Structures are given as C-alpha cells and as structure tokens.
Structure 1
C-alpha cells in the first residue's frame, strides 16, 4: 500500500507543489499587463509575447491543470482567491517561456538526457524533488521511496493522471534548468572593478560632521502657498518619468447592501441542528447519518489527541461513547459531533500487502475469493513475499515482497488504515478499497495511545431567501433612482456609505471591501467615466451598485490625472521658493550657520558621523539631496539653501573623517558582486520583458 496509497493519496499534492514552483525558480516579478489593449486581438488570442500569440485554449488547458493541482495540494475546493492565484501563475508560466525561449534558442542552451536523469534520480536532484522525498529534519532523500515512485510511474498506463502530471513537471523542470543556465551566463558577465570597490567602501565608511539649520515647509500655512497651473506643469515636466502607468487601471465608487445571514437566519439553522442532534443520538448507522445530513462528507476515522479542533478535541477525549456535542459554530457552519468509538491503539504500523485488481479478476467477489485463497496458502506456510511478487498489482511494493514500511495514522486511505491499526501483529486481513482488494499482513505495531472516532455533521450558516431578497430590493431601489450625476445625492439621502476601489487592474478579482469583485471589474473596464452600473452585482453576501470615476491609461499619465496626487509636493515647491529667498537673505554677510539660524529664528543643529550610504539626518528622515550636497561641499563654508524633503536647509561642514585605506579590494568586490547578482534576475527579466512587448488580453476572456 506504500507506493500505491502514497502515490494516489499524497503524490498529487506533492506534484502540485513541485509543478507550481519548479518553473517559478526563474520567474521574477509580475509581467506588465496592457490593460488598455485587452479588447484587441483574435477571438482565441489571450495575449502576445515577442509577436507570438498565446491562445486561450493553451492558457485554459494549463490553467485547468494548475487549479486541479492546487486543489489537490490544499485539499480545498477552488475559491476565488485560489483561482486568481492560478490565473497569474499560469500566465507567468506562459509568458516566461515565450520571453526566454528565443534567447535560449539563440544561445543554443540545452539540457541533455543524462542531465535530466541526474536531476530526477542522480546526485544533483532537483530541489523540489528533494523537498518532496526528503526528510525535513535531515535533508536526506529517501531514495527507496523515490525509486518506488519512479518504478510505479513507468508501469502506469498511458493517460494515468499521475503520469501526465509527472511528464509535465519534467518538461517544466527542463525549461527551468535552461533558464537557470541563461541567467548564470548573464551573471558571469557581471564585473566589479577596483574603482567601484573603492567608491563603495568610502560611501559606507567615510564620515562627515556638519551643522545645519532648516526651515520646515510646515512653517508656511497652505493658504500662503497656492500653486498655479504653471507650478503644476513645471513639477509634472520635471518628474514625468514617475507617472508612467505600467497597465491601465480604473477607479470606481460603490455602495454595498448586506445580504449575509441575519441573526434570525442563524437561529433557524441552529434550531434545525438542535433537532438533528437529537436524531444523531439515536442513529444506528452513524456513517449513513453523516452522508445523508452533512454538507461535508467526512470519513469516519480514528484520530489522535490534538487532531480535532481544540474545543471538540477536549470534549471527545473526555466523554463516553455515544456523546453528542453541539451545535457549535466552526468556520461559518453549525456542527454537531458524535463520539462513535474510543480505543487504545498503536501509533504506527509496519505492514505488507498484496493488491488485486477486481477488473482483471472478474469482479470484486472473485478478487476477494482469490485474496482468501492466498491467505490460506500463507497460513499453510507459503511465503507472503513470493506470492506478493507473483500476484500483487502494486509493482512498487511487490518487488520488495509487498513491504510498505512503517506508517502512522493518516498516511493510508481509511479502509486500509482501519485494518492495519485495528488488527494485531501477525494478522492477515482482507479489505476492499477504491484501489482494489488488499491482503494485508501486519508485521509490527509500535506505540500505544488513545484514539477516538468522531462523526461530524455540518450545515453552513447562510442567508435565507427573505434576507437576500430584502437586500436585493434595496439595491434595485437605489439603482432605479440614479440618473446622470446624482449618485452621491441618492446615497446620502438613503444613508448609504460610498466606498472607493482605487486603481483596479483589468485582471483584479478583489478590491478593498469586495472579496469576489470580478463581475464589477469587468463592468468597469467596459464602462465610460461617470457611468453607473445598469445591474445589481451579486457578490456572495452583498449586492453592489457602482459608478466609474476615473480611468488611468497605460503609459505616461496626463497632468490632470496625477494632479491630486502631486498637489502636496507642488505646494512644497511653492513654499520652497519662499523659504529659499528667506534663507538667501539671511545668509548675506553670515560667516556661520549659527548666524543664519539666528536671523531666521531657527536653531543650528550639529550632526556627527553621517555616511553617504545612509543619508538620514537624526530626528528627521532620509535627506538624499542634502547629504549629497554635504559630501560635495568644502569645509567651513555656509552653503546655499538646499531644498530637501523636510524643508529648506543651510549647512556648513566641520570636517570629514576618512576611513583606513582599503586593503582588501577583493573582498569588497565580492560583496558588491553578490549584491549585484541578487538583483540580476530581476533586471534580466525586466529587460527581456520590456523588449518583448507583452500584451495581456485575459480580461477579455476571464
């Protein structure tokens, strides 16, 4: 059962993790989306990289596989958050492959058969394989387990999901290795010379002591510094590079109407669960009761202390069999739990098995009969190991005489686990599972602790139809009163709070206050500025009506769009002109900063041991321009006014303290090289990405 159960029950999760991360070893950053272009392209083109189309069919195929893998890994149904993450992961996989493909082909980078084999089962295992098959404590890889897995893969039939997942992983592992080689080539071309090392050493070790006085921007009231259009234009032109929008974004306002379960709804569900709790106490078949009444169909298995949620764990491990606990609230549901059984059992079991396939044996009955016959042969003296090699369809364990090794609770499927843990050392047990008929030999059992079997029935706390209808009708009433520009007026009249979703991207699935906002986002990217929605959006537990207030296109944003965000900075520019004039007047004839400070009614502040690499003035903040000016200044001279982040400064340098001569340029070079290498992957991918002209049309389809 080891490789069979491990593969079927566990490897899906491991492979999902492997596939999800292997290719991303070299993916850095988020690919620039071209939101304003998303309506262009053919009906099946979801994007474009280097002039090459990415088809929606290819994207959807990989997306479906990634979602499936992530569900297996997490053990949860596909949530909006999981789906959104899978969408970005899938897009980045396809984009990265296309971006790097041409560069890799141009350089002739390949990964050979022997190199691939070495990454899968040789001395240089892929890190994700090490993580999947290694001991977290020691880092040592369980070679036997890895080899069994690979053996089972080779014997798997074509079309087996695990085989397909493994093939996809190996292909992506090879692509990742090629990308790793490419980035290694670029990194090896990086070079730091002695002058770089000397400059960096001085920037971190040369000290300066100086004295300054500053006039804060806050010293001038805002009413005395009103920017003109010319001021805005001048600032915008000087800082235009800062206003480049990587992708189109949109801002919308909305009002939300709560449709979550009310206290009355919760009370109704609790009443239903109270009745179920009474029925649960007298139920004869607890498993059937769970299957008929629970929202989540959980198998009845024995659990150790600490495996249940704390409040339930305490009750179940201190109560008599038959005890029903609840209803209690857990994860948004009412739950009732029944203690079905308790026992003292082993902590781990060492077992072997022979697996028979009912399909090839003529049905389950015949497979069970054959297992019984094998059991009698073993009881009569035949070797279990030899019969396993001959008859077991689990070839991985069959090669080892059916041995599965030692496993704890939760490692095997329920039917197999119950047989192995409830029996005794030396027992031969025949059980049927979804994988076939097993003849299990219990070789050893270790440890001893109390375990409990708990049946749980749950019912989500959901809003009633009446609650949902009332919220929907309020939303419809609000929307019906809207016309061209009265959104604010109607909201105020009805006592509704207007919320804002700022700078939303075309592929966003959630915004501030809206967890599942995809419908609203799609509407926003089809609307014009000032439009309000002509429908009520049903977003899980709330109904939403929205109005589009701003569109920020891809590229350099115009002045009218960025004007609100630069208002404070432009006002400081206006204040700076006044403060500079004041300090220039005070500096005339002054021979020290103290005299300047006295004239403007400020203080002269001494500063000690400042380095260029850390331009922070104590008590203020980072002042790059000021510290840069200080290090470029002569000694004992009153500086011209310098416009900083906090205000306008005048300073005088007392002295510089030079560090000891650099004696180990090699070590300094290595340190700088290491920092540069750490940034290299980002810079490489960004450069290739900009050159590739990536177009993201996913919002058209998703």
Structure 2
C-alpha cells in the first residue's frame, strides 16, 4: 500500500529521503565539510587517502544510517558488505574531491544556492518533492508553507537540521558538477575523429581466410620450457597487475543441512496440527500461536495465495476444508479455507486519515464520526481531507487513493473497501490510525478466498549439526601441514578450492556468511592449516591456505598456472607459422595456400572494424585489425590469432556513404567520452592519492 508506506515517513522525513536521492551526493559525500576533526589516533584509522585518515567510528555511523535507510530489518552479510563497500567508496571520493576542489578554488556562492532553491530553474530535487504534476513547476504555496514551518522551527528541530543538511548537499552536488565540467570541458572531438569513428562502424571488409587451429596440435606434443613462460610473461606483464591482495585456499566442507530425519520430524509436527486447525473457531489466534510466518488473514484472488498448490485447490472447496501437509519454499505447511465470496476486482476510493493521539482510539473515532456527519450533511470531502488528513500525499488530492486491486492495502482497509458499497462512508482502524473511507467505484467481479496457512520451516536438528561438527573436528585433528590431500583421499572427501578471495569478502564460490573464515585466511601464511573449524551457513569448513597474491604486478610463479594454456598456444603458433610460411612459398592465391596446408579458404562478408568478430570464431582483434590495414588481392603474412594462425586475402572494401552530419557524430562521441571520463578520472585520482585500506582489520 504505497500511501501507507508514505505515512510511515510523514512530511517531517521528506528531506531525509531527498538527501539519499542524488547519485552524486551518494558518491561524493560531505565535500563541504572537513573530516580532519574526526580522526583521533591511528587506532581509529580505517584507511588513508592522500595522507588523510578515514575514521572507523565515523564510517560505522554512516553504515548504520545506510542500513536504516534501506528499510530492511534482517540484513544478510552480503548486503551489509555491499553497504560497507559503498560507504568506503563514498569516503575515499569525498577526500579526493575535496582536495581537488581546494586546488582549483571552486566555491558555490550564496546567489547560486538561492537560485537552486528559489530560482526560476530550481534543482530537480526541489521540483521532485514540491512540484505540481499538472504544471511541471514548483507549487509555490506548498513550498512556501514548508519553508515557513522550517523558519518557525527551533534550531534543534530534526526537520530543520535535515533541511540545512539538504542545502549543504545541494552545494556538494553543485561543486561536483563544477569540477566535472572543468575536467570534461578539456575534451575535444574534431572532424577527423568523427570521420574515423563513422568509418570504423560502417566501412565493410570482404575477405577469405585460412586458419590452422591450435587444437590441431595435441597438447602432449608440445613441451613448455621456462623460457617459453618467461617470454610470454614479459610480453603480457601489464595483464598481471593485482589491484588488491588476494588469497586462495583449499577446503573440505561438512554439511549441516537438514537431514531426511529432520524433514520427517517437522512434517510430523505439522501433521499433529491438522485436527486442531480443522476444529479451531479462532483461526487468526491459531496462526499467531502456531505459524512461523504470522501473516494476517485477508481475502485474495487466484494467483495471490503465494503457492500454486493452493491456487489449484482452494477455489473449488467448501469452507473449513484443510489441505496438506505440503512442502513449499523450505517449509511444511497446512492450509484452511476459512471463507470465500465473490467481490469486485478493483476499487476506487478516498480517505481521511486521523492519528490515534494521546486521547486514545475513542477520541479519534469520535472525530472521524463528526467528519462523516459533516460530509453526509453536504460538506466537501475534498476540503476536509486537505484540512484534517495526516496522509498529506493523498490529502492534497482530496483524499484520493486512486484505483487499487485486492491485496494492495493492509487487510483491514482492504476488506472494508472491497466488502462495502459504492458511496458508503466507513470508519476503519489500521496500524496507521483511524480512516474515514469512502468507496467511489467498484469494478469487475471475481471469487476471493480467505485462507489460513500454518508453516513450519525445515531446519537442521541439534543432532545433525553436532554430527557434522564432530566429523569436521575429527578431520582437523588428523591434519598436519603435509597431509591435507592424503587425509582428504583417505576419508573419501571432496576437496574444494576458493580462488583469489579478497580481504573484505563475506562469501566465496558457493559459500555465504564466511567472513570469519576469510579473516583467518588473511592472517595466515601460505601452507597454514586452520586453527579451528569455521562455520559458514549450514557448512562446517576446514581450510588450508595455498596461495597469496600480493597487490601490484604478480610474479611469474603466481600466474604460471593461469597462463599455461596461452603459453602452450604461443608455442604451437610457432610451429603453425612455419607451416604457413612454407605454404606461401610459391603461392599467389589464398586457395593455393589452403590446398598446401590441407585446409579450406573461408569467405567472410561485411566485417566492420568496430566489431572484430569472425563468424564462427568470435573475436579476432589482431586478424581483423590487419585486414583493415591491407590492400586487396594480396596474401597476408601468417598472423597469430586467438584461435589459431591465420592467412587472409582481402577481396575489397565497401565504403559507406559520406558522413552527412559531422556535428552530430562529434556530439555523440563527446557524450560517450564524457561518461567514460568521470569514472576514469576518479580511478586516476585514486591511484595518485595512494589509498591505504585497513578495513580487513576492522570488518
């Protein structure tokens, strides 16, 4: 129920929502403020950016605020890690941008701030929250009333504090825009750039090629030497830059997932409830006492029951029918059809929402009853809604809630709206207060059912968990630094590998909630066994650290296994190059070369430089690049490609029509460059800022 969610926030929290709305504000943070006063000693230093420390205490406060704004109560470890990563990036960007802005002497003047708030072209956030949808402009009456309430508020009023923070945030955004504009304005796309880009996308090449695949030489016919590895490594060293330290470890996991006995036990528990569910006269109370998921009772149409099994059964049974036990979404369930009826598919309604204040529910109901009598006597519902309703979003529209389907509102409101009659005024209590509801229109007709569902999740018993832990503990006790693989084989277990795990990871391949295990890995040395059995979700894990990859350019030993396939292809390429060179001796056409190497000359049509894909072979950058630098009807030299060694002969180019609008092409290229430049700019500034990350010591 969208309007009800809005009521939770009320008008006083509108600014808090605004603050979080801007992407730039989220990335760049509190640029206007100096962070130095927060930092008191290295023990609180979560990291350093250009010599400035980032406070762990301040960082945690920001993470907690982000958790609250997420609106979720039970946050997973993975989602928490995401919030922590975003907050860290925000802090790093704040420090970097602050220093760059100071260097350039950029400021936001009072006049600029006033223009963003009160000018003819206000900031989009002002328009978003104070705009009139009909005119597309700021509703000045609404905005002036808001500002008047702000001015009248005390200095420590949360609403006033949030408004001040919002104005600061507008300044932050403006400074960021100025800085980005200052850097992006230095980029220029000329006519030659536009012409080259146009031709790269539209000039076509037609050619024939012959290829000898690397797979044509068996791997066991190739011997790789240290020189082969070193030569490849030297030529491709730029590919082996590790942005942050990673660690790899082998491990064995012992599952504590629910067993068949656990499942049978839960099924037995739910079966015992079947007679009680059939006989109970208070279904709502029975749900509250026995169900794991305590959903309120509400009428629902077909497709809204949550379980396809219920949809196929409950609409054709008499009241009191009990279905189950059945298994769904990790739980055993039973369901009872309490009632069924035919009602409208959708309702158009309006309401006036009154708070239940210190005087209690009776006073709120009395006020609703007075308003009801005024409306029945001819008073305008619209005017009363604008004056009295605490649901300001609908109140400003005369209480209008629009048209909604069954299940869109909370159960009490939903039942009143769908069970009542057109034009009827009802007083309804919900978790949000007392509603004076008027049904304006009802459309359609379909059957709806009220179903009580009792669920019991299947979880691992203490016995199952204890057995898994004991097996893991026994395995750990038998290990030495040299016998991990032997013990795995002896016990008939499966060894798994976590590869290139980062210091702040809370999970790795197939394993969630593994933060403690990862922390161990980053304290251990290569070859170390675990000091304990680690718990990750429903798994008990025993690991051994196998590899440490430090930050920076990795040495050959660290990537030797990774590059083995590429090195082998490079060695094979030398043999295939020799074969092609011999075949080209005395040959004048691509077909003659193909015949000599016992292959076929394959024709390809309409290849463009900007998409260097050879049909059936995927990307071949070097081959296609060479094609576009060639002349027609000449045999190419052998080329070492991604899938094999190639020789080609260009038939012809098909040039596109002359570029009709160079200005538009330049604008499109410029826009693409501007978008890429922002992230590239901050990457470059981060490298220059010498960012030191100590988060793994805290998180």
Length-normalised TM-score, structure 2:
0.83
**Structure 2 unpaired stretches of 5+:** 29-40
Q: Whole-Å Cα distance in 2 between the matches of residues 411 and 148 of structure 1?
A: 34
Equivalence for 2:436: 440
Provide Cα deviations, 1:458-495, integer angstroms capped at 9, x if missing partner: 22110111111111111111111111121111111111
TM-aligned CA deviation for residue 498 of structure 1: 0.8
After TM superposition, the structure 1 stretch with the greater mean CA deviation from structure 2, 395-404 or 597-606, is 395-404
Q: Which residue of 2 aligns with 1:216?
A: 213
Give the direction of change, closer, same or farther, for the CA distance of 1:194–1:282 in structure 2 (3 Å limit): same
Aligned residue in 1 for 2:320: 322
Cα distance in 2 for partners of 1:17, 1:354 equals 22
Q: Which of 393, 396, 414 is the aligned partner of 2:392?
A: 396
- Separation in 1, partners of 2:466, 2:234: 53
Q: Which of 366-375 and 440-449 deviates more? A: 366-375
RMSD: 4.4
In structure 2, the CA distance between the partners of 1:540 and 1:289, relative to structure 1 (3 Å rule), is: same
Q: Cα distance, 1:239 vs. partner? A: 1.1
- Structure 1 residues 322, 243: closer, same or farther in 2, change over 3 A? same
**Residue 511 to residue 387, structure 1, CA distance change in 2 (3 Å):** closer
Cα distance between partner residues in 1 of 2:440 and 2:107: 52
Change (3 A) 1:150 1:506: farther
Equivalent pair of 1:5/1:413 in contact (CA under 8 Å): no
Give the match for residue 698 of structure 2.
Answer: 701
**Contact 1:344-1:448 at 8 Å conserved across structures:** no
* Cα deviations by residue, 1:130-151 (Å, 9 ceiling, x for unpaired): 8x9999xx99899899989979
> 3-state SS of the aligned residue for 2:450?
strand
Contact 2:292–2:456, Cα closer than 8 Å, also in 1: yes
What pairs with 1:543-692 in structure 2 (closer than 5 Å)? 543-605=540-602, 609-634=606-631, 636-653=633-650, 655-656=652-653, 658-659=655-656, 661-662=658-659, 664-692=661-689
CA distance 1:330–1:146, shift in 2 (3 Å): farther
Q: 1:64 corresponds to which residue?
A: 64
Number of aligned residue pairs: give it: 679
* Residue 348 (structure 1) aligns with: 347
Question: 1-side partners of 2:585 and 2:254: how far apart?
Answer: 65
Q: Deviations over 1:228-280 (max 9, x none)?
A: 21221121111111100111111111111111111211111111112223212
- Match in the other structure for 1:23: 23
Q: Secondary structure at the match of 1:317?
A: helix
The answer on 1:529 being equivalent to 2:529 is: no
**What secondary structure does 1:504 align onto?**
strand
Instruction: Pick one of 288, 291, 299 that aligns with 2:288.
Output: 291
Return the structure number with greater relative CO, CA threshold 8 A, min gap 6. 1
1:358 aligns with 2:357: yes
After superposition, give the CA deviation of every residue in 1:500-534 in whole Å (9 maximum; x if it has no partner): 11111112122212122222211111111111212
Deviation at 1:399, TM superposition (A): 7.3
Residue equivalent to 1:34:
none
CA 1:545/1:426 → structure 2, altered by over 3 Å: closer, same or farther? Answer: same
Q: For residues 319 and 127 of structure 1, what CA distance do their matches in structure 2 show?
A: 54
- One of 82, 102, 120 as aligned partner of 1:85: 82
Q: Tell me, what secondary structure is at the counterpart of 2:22?
A: helix
Match of 1:32 in 2: none
Which residue number in structure 2 is paired with residue 8 of structure 1? 8
Relative to structure 1, the CA distance from residue 241 to residue 429 in structure 2 (aligned partners, 3 Å threshold; closer, same or farther) is same
1:177-192 equivalence runs, <5 A: 178-192=175-189
2:45 matched to 1:49?
Answer: no
Please say if 1:102 is aligned against 2:99. yes
CA contact (8 A) 1:2 1:404 kept: no
In the alignment, the residues of structure 2 paired with residue 518 and residue 103 of structure 1 have an alpha-carbon distance, to the nearest angstrom, of 36
- State whether structure 2 residue 332 is matched by structure 1 residue 334: yes
Name the SS of the counterpart of 1:43 in structure 2: helix
1:435–1:388: structure 2 CA closer, same or farther, 3 Å change rule? Answer: same
3-state SS, counterpart of residue 358 of structure 1: coil
Residues 93-492 of structure 1 aligned to structure 2 (within 5 Å): 93-105=90-102, 106=104, 108=106, 110=108, 112-117=112-117, 125-126=124-125, 129=128, 175-176=172-173, 178-309=175-306, 310-345=308-343, 347-353=346-352, 355-359=354-358, 361=359, 363-365=360-362, 392=388, 394=390, 396=392, 403-406=399-402, 408=404, 409-410=406-407, 412-419=409-416, 421-424=418-421, 429-436=426-433, 438=434, 440-442=436-438, 444-447=440-443, 449=445, 450-492=447-489
Deviation sequence 1:582-637 (CA, Å, 0-9, x none): 44444445545455555544445555554433434444443332333344345555
Q: 1:288 to 1:213 in 2, by over 3 A?
A: closer
Q: Give the Å deviation of 1:547.
A: 1.3
* Contact residue 210 and residue 590 of structure 2 kept, 8 A: yes
Partner of 2:577, secondary structure, is helix
Q: Return the alpha-carbon distance in structure 1 between the equivalents of residues 602 and 425 of structure 2.
A: 87
Distance apart, 1:342 and its partner CA: 3.7
SS at match of 1:489: helix
Contact 1:152 1:395 in 2 (8 A): no
Q: Where does the alignment leave 5 or more consecutive residues of structure 1 unmatched?
A: 29-40
What secondary structure is seen at the aligned counterpart in 2 of 1:394?
Answer: coil
Residues 337-367 of structure 1, C-alpha deviations (whole Å, 9 max, x = no match): 33334445553253443624432x3x44555
Q: Determine the C-alpha separation between the residues in 2 that align with 1:191 and 1:17.
A: 38
Alignment TM-score, normalising by the size of structure 1 = 0.82
